[in-house]
Amino acid sequence: MIPPRIKNRFSDHPQKVSRPVSLRLTEDMIRMLQTTSQELGFKRIQGLIRLYVRQGLDRDNAEYTLAHDEVFIESLRKKGVSQKIIEEAIADISSECPNDTIIK
């Protein structure tokens, strides 16, 4: 696997480098996250936690939007989603969801 720092030099869609973060949660919170992640179609709770963090950032920081989440958008491109569809989805979400709305 090519490290992101090297890959980004030659890519039109650079990835942001992720860093691990430790977080202590109670067993009840973990069970709730597992249940909710399964209901929403996430394979693991990490994706749900990232979504919740992103939604919190959307509420607290009007300058942060899903459009700036380059890693997510790059993943969509790799799965064959066209740039036109990505742009339409971002426009739809931006116009329909105010920053204080949580998407479920």
Q: List pLDDT tens digits, range 67-92.
A: 667 777 888 888 888 888 888 887 77
pLDDT of 96 strictly over 60: no
Residue 68 is given by DSSP the state G
Among candidate residues 77, 87, 76, 40, the one with its CA nearest the CA of residue 49: 40
Burial of 86-100, coded b for 16+ CB within 10 Å and e otherwise, reads: eeeebeeeeeeeeee
Note the pTM of the prediction, 2 decimals.
0.49
pLDDT one-digit tens code per residue, 9-38: 666 666 677 788 999 999 999 999 999 999
